[in-house]
Amino acid sequence: MDWKSQYEDKLISEEEAARLVAPGHHVVFSLCPMPVPPVMARALLERKQELQNVFMTTTWYGDYPWFQPGLEEIFRVRTSFVTPFVREGARQKRIETFFWVPGLGNGERQQDPNRGRIHQFADLCFAVVTPPDDDGYCSFGHSVWWLPTAIRTAKVAVGLVDETLPHTFGDRVHVNQLHYLVPLSRPLPDFRAGSVTVGHQWEQAQVVGALASELVRDGDTLQIGFGAPSESVIPFLAGKNDLGIDTEMLYPSLYPLFEAGVINNARKNVNRGKTIATGMTPVEGDPNWERFRALVHRNPDFEFRDIAYMCHVPRIASNNDMVAINTAVGVDLYGQVAVEQWQGLVIGGIGGQLEYTVGSHYSRGGRSITCLLSTTPDGQSRIVPRLPEDSLVTIPASYVDYLVTEYGVVNLEFKTRRERAEAIISIAHPDFRHELMREARKMFWP
């Protein structure tokens, strides 16, 4: 049977797709655009009396009824990254978060159902895909993430077909690998990430970006993580030459650098001439979003790959001049970096920050750049003597190279603990330096 006949035989409606979910199921969804189509979401909610303990896993963009109190025993919502849509539920511990290091999905962990079960070995996987091409392959568009692995290991894989999704190169799925296909009644919206850094904090982020950009050299290959301080480096790269991109996420603000030829991947020793990523992140109010979507459509110069491939430390390290640029929410005087949780508040997720930071250390000519604002919006120092109680260390101190705030840049490599503390204090907000030095003397001086 040819793939076109298979395609027709596998077609079901959104309501029928919702009826595939059974009590106790582990269900994995796409990351974005909107993970669960509205028609399917309504159909699922209508079945709440017959469902129980349905584990629903993705990074949630969009507001769904199962985020509300009272449904947590029916829909067990889980997320690896806390977005604004689930932050309150996570704070109240109704929505479950888990520790997820994407690169650990490589190798034997993907093959062993007794180990990795975050996105692997689900009962159901619902993946947003493009219509098939002439050879029967569907693309994951601009949002691949865990889908290739999830589909390969799921008991039942369902393609949610969105005709407006850009058709991208890289990982893809054939019609014969999907058990069902669901033509969507309307295109799924891209939920745009709104900036949470405004006013004076936004101005501080621009200073951080400008300073961090001075550490980038012509010919470097960049990973740029989520967050205003690290993303703010992008417009300050306009004067560079022959930059490459190997990163989790692509941002609309990168588009002018592609158009100007600043990013051309010309000096890459791995995947030369190609931009490698796992997804694109829409940004509220950025006019470059639609232009960027158009640029990646059927463009072989862009490849979107499984997150387990992207965040594999040996692969990252194989890139020469690999530079990891990421955001921190807090740093202590040892140089330990907190990203995902601060004083009990779950802020986001680890993503690929750990692996790209470590990978950059083993890259020939590589380095890591950690960016942060010196203070919180309410004026508290983000540089502290010791990480506060109920905060998590995301990046160990030994893997922190350059640290950047709006007050300067320091390199922590090969420094003693005393030297590290002095360097970190030098880029803290001036109002807090005296107290920080007083605490440092207790910690590191006889």
Q: What is the pLDDT of residues 41-84, one digit of tens each?
A: 999 999 999 999 999 999 898 889 999 999 999 999 999 888 88
C-beta separation of 445 from 418 below 8 A: yes
User: Which residues, 6 or more positions from 128, have their beta carbon under 8 angstroms from its beta carbon?
Assistant: 30, 33, 35, 140, 141, 143, 159, 160, 162, 165, 188
The confidence score (pLDDT) of residue 351 equals 86
Judged against a pLDDT cut of 60, whether residue 106 lies above it is answered with: no
Judged against a pLDDT cut of 90, whether residue 189 lies above it is answered with: no
**Integer Cα distance of 435 and 424 in angstroms:** 13
Confidence class for position 364, pLDDT limits 50, 70, 90: very high
**Integer Cα distance of 24 and 111 in angstroms:** 22
Percent of the chain with pLDDT over 70: 94
Residue closest to 251 by CA, chosen among 211, 209, 291, 300: 291
101-105, 141-145, 319-323: range with lowest mean pLDDT:
101-105
Domains and CATH numbers, the chain: 3-183 (3.40.1080.10), 199-444 (3.40.1080.20)
Which of 78-92, 100-114, 278-292, 390-404 ranks highest by mean pLDDT?
390-404
Q: What is the pLDDT of residues 246-269, one digit of tens each?
A: 999 999 999 999 999 999 999 999
Confidence class for position 273, pLDDT limits 50, 70, 90: very high
Residue with tokens 């880029």: 427
72-81, 225-234, 280-289, 389-398: range with lowest mean pLDDT:
280-289
pTM of the predicted model, to two decimals?
0.95
Q: For the chain, what is the HEC assignment?
A: CCHHHHHHHCECCHHHHHCCCCCCCEEEECCCCCCCCHHHHHHHHHCCCCCCCEEEECCCCCCCHHHCCCCCCCEEEEECCCCCCCHHHHHCCCCEECCCCHHHHCCHHHHCCCCCCCCCCCCEEEEEECCCCCCCEEECCCECCCHHHHHHHCCEEEEEECCCCCCCEECEEEHHHCCEEEECCCCCCCCCECCCCCHHHHHHHHHHHHHHHCCCCCCCEEEECCCHHHHCCHHHHCCCCCEEEECCEECHHHHHHHHCCCECCCCCCCCCCCEEECEECCECCCCHHHHHHHHHCCCCCEEECCHHHHCCHHHHHCCCCEEEEEECCEEECCCCEECCEECCEECCCCCCHHHHHHHHHCCCCCEEEEECCCECCCCCECEECCCCCCCCCCECHHHCCEEEECCEEEECCCCCHHHHHHHHHHCCCHHHHHHHHHHHHHHHCC
The confidence score (pLDDT) of residue 190 equals 81
Q: What is the pLDDT of residues 150-161, one digit of tens each?
A: 999 999 999 999
Percent of the chain with pLDDT over 90: 80
The confidence score (pLDDT) of residue 274 equals 99
Judged against a pLDDT cut of 90, whether residue 379 lies above it is answered with: yes
Query: How many CB atoms within 10 Å of residue 316?
Result: 27
State the average pLDDT for the chain: 93
Q: What is the pLDDT of residues 115-130, one digit of tens each?
A: 666 788 999 999 999 9
C-beta separation of 351 from 81 below 8 A: yes
